[in-house]
Structure 1
Amino acid sequence: MKIENPWKQNPWFESVAVAQRRAQKRLPAPVYAALLAGSERGQTVRDNQGAFAELGLLPHVAGQAAERSMTRTVLGQEVSVPVLISPTGVQAVHPDGEVAVARAAHNRGTLMGLSNFASRPVEEVVEACPRTLFQMYWTGDRDVMVQRMQRAHRAGAIGLIATLDWSFSMGRDWGSPEIPEKIDLAAMVRLAPKVATKPRWLMQFGPRHLPDLTAPNLAPAGGAAPTFFGAYYEWMTTPPPSWADVAWMREQWAEISGTPFVLKGVARVDDARRAVDAGVDAISVSNHGGNNLDGTPAAIRLLHPIATAVGDRVEVLMDGGVRRGSDVVKALALGARAVLIGRAYLWGLAANGQAGVENVLDILRGGIDSALLGLGVSSIDELTPETLLVPDGFHVP
């Protein structure tokens, strides 16, 4: 009797952990390793997830609400679930890349974040999800940055995310995956032994559509898109921004678009206060998913002191380590307006394309609802720090 592959019969997965395992099974080793990327020993990557497990929930046995609400207004937009798509670069794990993710975000009623280093142009992504936030690094001169803002505005972006925390150490204790500058014959020959073990992954691209490792949103007007490493070189040779530069960037976006400006990568109370002074509309408490300075505490440890310090002067988002709906609930209880996810949806994308990303969002939504039910609250608006069991010394002042 022939036994069918259960994955082929049922591509749905029941947790983000299962999506990760399926992504690992499907992707060539260096591609999967790139999704796990964290700097140096990976201390921050581990703490981003582990810290959530230190927070407890105390459920009620009776009297729970029959209906629970998860809708919220974030950056002026109503979302059906307080989980946004964080911008991540070069989503070459699937042929449709960022467009598939954007469609999933649109179908699930949330916001899409598109990276400067994305593999698909902002125009295509906004068409797939009209509620797209465009993310920029501080890279290139000011005229170039203004041109990129103008392009994002013309495409219809509903906000700008400035990510300024990236220092990106190549020194990883487990080794950095090889990422070719471009997919040409030489790269194909060199990587063939690793890719040959995952024929299903390569076949989905088709013979004329190999993985795209360029950054079209960094292309000059009328010019060719740089490779990922070309874009990285531009970032490396751009002097780091000052707080005056942050204010300038915010002012430029206000003149061009007038839509929200988010500063991503805030990990200190004093920086959060400076961000308020610079006029930003929102901040994201983040350590770049462990890809920045290793040893930075988990984002969830930083969240409550920062949210308390800025009050209601700006919206506070958080990203880093979210894998379950209960993680989202814990972040909201500690002051986040919403969370952003990165690796979680990339694993869903690798496992099953657009449907896989929708699957991940559905898992998180279901987990949020389950947590709200157990806690006996009818809305995410009722979540407070008192909802949680927080151990002494958890928060980083």
Structure 2
Amino acid sequence: MASTKDWFESVAEAQRRARRRLPKSVYYALVGGAEQGITLSDNVAAFDEIGFRPHIADLPPQREQSTTVLGQEIDLPVLISPTGVQAVDPEGEVAVARAAASSNIQNPLNPEQTVSTGMGLSSFASRSVEDVCAVNDKVFFQVYWAGSREDILARALRAKEAGAKGLIVTLDWTFATRRDWGSPPIPEKMDLRAMAQFAPEVITKPRYLLDWARSGKLPDLTVPNMVPPLGGAAPTFFGAYGIWWTTPQPTWDDIAWLREQWGGPFMIKGIMHPDDARRAVDAGASAISVSNHGGNNLDGTPAAIRALPAVVDAVGDQVEVVMDGGVRRGADVVKALALGARACMIGRAYLWGMAAQGERGVSNVLSILYKGIDEALLGLGKNSVHELTRDDLIIPENFTRASKL
């Protein structure tokens, strides 16, 4: 169907609408990558190099997309990736969580149910883990190695008490914040000085301004999930970032310790090298995410989809493998699954959806991906996502860029 005022038919259209609605600084905070943006671009472009081997007869009348990740059953192989403070909509992560819990997509195998999936919630989120777990029972709480062991564990256990079903530890970050196109200004907090500074941007985006005016609040740039364990005020985003930045990098022994203390499903996010994948298995991970932080880590790192096959080959079925980076359509998800991923995580795609249409926009993005996966399964003659293999793909020589690993 063609796009309408209340519906967009592609993630690209969601991005265009997000750009029209958001102030320039907010929009560019969503789209930028580190340094020159080589990895950011490759995350998307690499998918275009992979082709399909379709079939044309005896195609399955219905296709199954459900799977499990971190012990949770999800109705499509797409998860919400954790992202930091979301100033694109007043409801922030709560709106995302509601959309993921009930996407308004009718399940063709059970018409009485709607399709739902899980959500990664950032420790740098603008809404508390308690608020988010209240509207979605498949939340995976994400932590950075920020602060002491005791502080990190306290945040994790708070999330478990709130109802989080799994823990995601993000390790892929080298603090390469320089961007050739320039980093957008982000205020420490929304005080009178900040409002005056950003007024010229915001006044030209009346819909964004009206949405926040109706909410009766200003964008909150504090991070409630980083409240000190012994009490005190929530730090600002930059305050939390400073804690993370100044904390010594963790060792594999640190990760194994946290895994043991957590005692539940445990994902390590940021794997790009087979050696790290094997170390993650040794540390007791339940799952790993092949990810380069959406192109915001070490620029020049290949696309996540290029690293996926070597990582899958390194760990076999010892651990669940998901992929995060560059997913813009259902066909991208199918390509990742055929290369061995159990599911994909999306970041920018759902943020653009929320910027375009709030909670309904997030549901719209999930619907686009769900239908795209279904169409690709039909074309490949597959009854289920679990039947996908590398034989369904046409992969160019040296696609993985991993011949020396």
TM-score (norm 2): 0.94
Which of 110, 115, 130 lines up with 1:123 in the alignment? Answer: 130
Q: Residue by residue, what CA displacement relative to the aligned partner does 1:232-261 show, whole Å, maximum 9, x if unpaired?
A: 11011100011111111111111xxxx200
Q: Secondary structure at the match of 1:120?
A: coil
Which of 90, 93, 98 lines up with 2:88 in the alignment? Answer: 93
The answer to whether 1:276 aligns with 2:271 is no
Unaligned runs of 5+ in 2: 104-115
The answer to whether 1:14 aligns with 2:18 is no
For residues 140-179 of structure 1, what are the structure 2 equivalents within 5 Å?
Answer: 140-179=147-186
The answer to whether 1:138 aligns with 2:133 is no
The answer to whether 1:181 aligns with 2:176 is no
Equivalent residue for 1:339? 344
- Per the TM alignment, residue 321 of structure 1 is displaced from its structure 2 partner at its CA by 0.1
Q: Tell whether the 8 Å contact from 1:135 to 1:162 is kept in structure 2 after alignment.
A: yes
Equivalent residue for 2:110? none
Range 113-122 or range 159-168, more displaced: 159-168
Which of 33, 36, 53 lines up with 1:38 in the alignment? Answer: 33
The answer to whether 1:57 aligns with 2:64 is no
- Per the TM alignment, residue 147 of structure 1 is displaced from its structure 2 partner at its CA by 1.0
Q: Tell me the amino acid that sits aligned with residue 62 of structure 1.
A: A
- Per the TM alignment, residue 58 of structure 1 is displaced from its structure 2 partner at its CA by 2.0
Equivalent residue for 2:301? 296
Matched residue pairs, number? 387
Q: Tell whether the 8 Å contact from 1:280 to 1:314 is kept in structure 2 after alignment.
A: yes
Which of 324, 330, 335 lines up with 1:325 in the alignment? Answer: 330
Equivalent residue for 2:99? 104
Which of 208, 215, 219 lines up with 2:227 in the alignment? Answer: 219
CA distance in 1, matches of 2:357, 2:235: 28
- Per the TM alignment, residue 396 of structure 1 is displaced from its structure 2 partner at its CA by 3.4
CA distance in 1, matches of 2:32, 2:219: 19
Q: Tell whether the 8 Å contact from 2:54 to 2:392 is kept in structure 1 after alignment.
A: no
CA distance in 2, matches of 1:124, 1:164: 25
Q: Tell whether the 8 Å contact from 1:95 to 1:211 is kept in structure 2 after alignment.
A: yes
The answer to whether 1:114 aligns with 2:124 is no
CA distance in 2, matches of 1:49, 1:318: 13
Q: Tell whether the 8 Å contact from 2:175 to 2:245 is kept in structure 1 after alignment.
A: no
Q: Tell whether the 8 Å contact from 1:91 to 1:97 is kept in structure 2 after alignment.
A: yes
Q: Residue by residue, what CA displacement relative to the aligned partner does 1:172-230 show, whole Å, maximum 9, x if unpaired?
A: 01100000000110001111111111121022112740111111000124311100110
Range 152-161 or range 53-62, more displaced: 53-62
Equivalent residue for 1:232? 241
CA distance in 2, matches of 1:150, 1:68: 38
Q: Secondary structure at the match of 2:212?
A: coil
CA distance in 1, matches of 2:72, 2:240: 31
CA distance in 1, matches of 2:10, 2:175: 29
Q: Secondary structure at the match of 2:73?
A: strand
Q: Tell me the amino acid that sits aligned with residue 47 of structure 1.
A: D
- Per the TM alignment, residue 170 of structure 1 is displaced from its structure 2 partner at its CA by 2.0
Q: Secondary structure at the match of 1:128?
A: coil
- Per the TM alignment, residue 165 of structure 1 is displaced from its structure 2 partner at its CA by 1.1
Q: Tell me the amino acid that sits aligned with residue 258 of structure 2.
A: M
Equivalent residue for 2:217? 209
Equivalent residue for 1:3? none
CA distance in 2, matches of 1:37, 1:45: 8
The answer to whether 1:390 aligns with 2:392 is no
Q: Tell me the amino acid that sits aligned with residue 244 of structure 2.
A: W
Q: Tell me the amino acid that sits aligned with residue 25 of structure 2.
A: P
Q: Residue by residue, what CA displacement relative to the aligned partner does 1:29-78 show, whole Å, maximum 9, x if unpaired?
A: 01000000200000000000000000001222222111111111222111
Unaligned runs of 5+ in 1: 1-5
Equivalent residue for 1:195? 202
The answer to whether 1:250 aligns with 2:259 is yes
- Per the TM alignment, residue 168 of structure 1 is displaced from its structure 2 partner at its CA by 3.0
Q: Tell whether the 8 Å contact from 1:305 to 1:396 is kept in structure 2 after alignment.
A: no
- Per the TM alignment, residue 17 of structure 1 is displaced from its structure 2 partner at its CA by 0.3
CA distance in 2, matches of 1:235, 1:37: 21
- Per the TM alignment, residue 373 of structure 1 is displaced from its structure 2 partner at its CA by 0.7
Identity of aligned residues (%): 63
CA distance in 2, matches of 1:243, 1:147: 20
CA distance in 1, matches of 2:76, 2:401: 27
Q: Tell me the amino acid that sits aligned with residue 67 of structure 1.
A: Q
Which of 68, 77, 82 lines up with 2:77 in the alignment? Answer: 82
CA distance in 1, matches of 2:176, 2:149: 26
Q: Tell me the amino acid that sits aligned with residue 304 of structure 2.
A: A
- Per the TM alignment, residue 10 of structure 1 is displaced from its structure 2 partner at its CA by 2.6
CA distance in 1, matches of 2:139, 2:370: 20
CA distance in 1, matches of 2:282, 2:401: 22
Q: Residue by residue, what CA displacement relative to the aligned partner does 1:101-129 show, whole Å, maximum 9, x if unpaired?
A: 00001003100110010000000000011
CA distance in 1, matches of 2:76, 2:16: 25
The answer to whether 1:26 aligns with 2:18 is no
Q: Secondary structure at the match of 2:222?
A: coil
TM-score (norm 1): 0.96
Equivalent residue for 2:318? 313
Q: Residue by residue, what CA displacement relative to the aligned partner does 1:314-344 show, whole Å, maximum 9, x if unpaired?
A: 0001000000000000000000000000000
